């Protein structure tokens, strides 16, 4: 089983997964961003967004399947995935492998996202890079917010302004209630 926590940059995906982790100790945390970082070291990413690499999408799904099959443990996946075609590609591969996906989307107002992004430090030793990353994240807020209308059926949309504890309670209640939420 996979619990995919989706949402805009700054919506609280990692914070929610950090809250879920001690409550669900058998779950593994899998951040597909790491796959992107590895690919960036090997190949050029012409658009600047590693999600545009077909290989990234294939590897994300393949590694998720491998982790579930090899370790027989649930996965917590904090990852923004808002392009409907990319989400379809990854979630279809997971479904084809027989893995259930609970897909959650954290919905947060633009001004809150901007404030959260401004409050983060991505590369503390490189202020110029830090600012570039902030601009990049803010530049994607609109497409992330619009994605709420194109998410796979069964996606559970959560109020990302709730506390991490309240969100974790909601996620765990949904997961314990039964079958996959969607994807």
Q: What is the CATH number of the domain that holds 35?
A: 3.40.50.300
Summarize pLDDT for 16-74 with one digit per residue, the tens: 999 999 999 999 999 999 999 999 999 999 998 999 999 999 999 999 999 999 999 99
Structural domain count, the chain = 1
Position 99 in a domain: yes
On the 0-12 / 13-18 / 19+ scale of CB atoms within 10 A, 130 is middle
Q: Which domain holds residue 68?
A: 2-175
Position 15 in a domain: yes
Position 182 in a domain: no
Position 170 in a domain: yes
Give the integer Cα–Cα distance in Å for 30 and 104.
15
Position 183 in a domain: no
Q: What region does 42 belong to: left with phi over 0, alpha with psi -120 to 50, or beta?
A: alpha
Give the integer Cα–Cα distance in Å for 67 and 65.
6
Q: What is the pTM of this model?
A: 0.92
**What pLDDT shows up at residue 120?**
87
Summarize pLDDT for 63-94 with one digit per residue, the tens: 999 999 999 999 999 999 999 999 999 999 99
**What pLDDT shows up at residue 149?**
86
Position 86 in a domain: yes
Give the integer Cα–Cα distance in Å for 54 and 42.
14
**What pLDDT shows up at residue 53?**
97
Position 181 in a domain: no
């Amino acid at each position: 089983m996979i619990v995919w926590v989706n949402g805009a940059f700054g919506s609280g995906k990692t914070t929610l997964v950090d809250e879920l982790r001690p409550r669900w100790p058998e779950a593994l945390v899998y951040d597909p961003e790491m796959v992107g970082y590895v690919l960036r070291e090997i190949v050029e990413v012409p658009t600047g967004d590693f999600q545009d690499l077909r290989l990234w999408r294939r590897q994300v799904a393949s590694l998720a399947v491998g982790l579930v099959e090899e370790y027989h443990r649930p996965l917590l996946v904090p990852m923004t995935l808002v392009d409907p075609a990319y989400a379809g590609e990854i979630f279809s591969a997971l479904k084809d492998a027989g893995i259930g996906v609970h897909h959650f989307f954290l919905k947060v107002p633009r001004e809150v996202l901007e404030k959260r992004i401004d409050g983060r430090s991505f590369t503390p030793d490189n202020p110029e890079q830090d600012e570039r990353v902030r601009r990049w994240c803010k530049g994607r807020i609109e497409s992330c917010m619009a994605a709420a209308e194109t998410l796979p059926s069964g996606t559970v949309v959560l109020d990302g302004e709730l506390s991490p504890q309240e969100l974790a309670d909601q996620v765990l209640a949904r997961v314990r209630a039964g079958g996959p939420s969607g994807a």
